[in-house]
Amino acid sequence: MKGIILAAAFLLVSVFAVPAYAQHEIKTVDGLKVTLAITSVDEIKKHPEEHPEIKMHGGPKGTHHLLIHIEDEKTGKVVGDVSVKTIVHNPDGSRTEKILEPMALAGFEDYGNYFDFKELGDYHIEVAMTPLKGAPKKAFFVYERRGEH
Ligand SMILES: [Cu+2]
């Protein structure tokens, strides 16, 4: 799989709650537009007022907060009734599987959890999505951890 560098996002907080400091990337799969956003816990702690993540999932566990936002490709409607599981293939070859918890941010249903991305290197992230109706879908991302955040 070819890696894509997730560009640091200098966008303002947009219609959904991807934090300004998050690295993010969008993939479209089977009619769903899937956004992955990763924010370091250090950044979250520096800007707690901008980051509702600080109170999520029982507080920051791990080094990074991972958020998935799903929209219908055609209508642009937020899809909030999906079971989302993430399988992370870490740079050292180990795997981390976690259920992403629904998180209501700014009135939208997103999905997230904390992960340990301690090592520099490539994290191959499989996002397995099971909609209430319809077939399960998978989106693949590569998070290239190169520096401090
Ligand atoms: Cu969260």
Domain residue extents for the chain: 23-145
Higher pLDDT residue, 18 or 121?
121
Q: From the CA of 59, how far away is ligand 1's center (Å)?
A: 9
Q: From the CA of 74, how far away is ligand 1's center (Å)?
A: 26
Measured CA distances, 71 to 48, 81, 88 (Å): 27, 11, 22
Q: Average the pLDDT over each of 19-23, 26-30, 54-58, 118-122 and give the range with the smallest value.
A: 19-23
Q: In the predicted model, is pLDDT for residue 2 greater than 60?
A: no
The residue assigned the tokens 């693949």 is 140
pLDDT at 87: 98
> Tokens in use for 63?
């080094």
What does the pLDDT look like over 81-129, one tens digit per residue? Answer: 999 999 999 999 999 999 999 987 656 689 999 999 999 999 999 999 9
Domain topology for 23-145: Immunoglobulin-like (2.60.40)
> Tokens in use for 106?
């700014």
Q: From the CA of 108, how far away is ligand 1's center (Å)?
A: 12
From CA 141, how far away is CA 128, in angstroms rounded?
A: 11
Q: From the CA of 126, how far away is ligand 1's center (Å)?
A: 18
> Tokens in use for 82?
């999906």
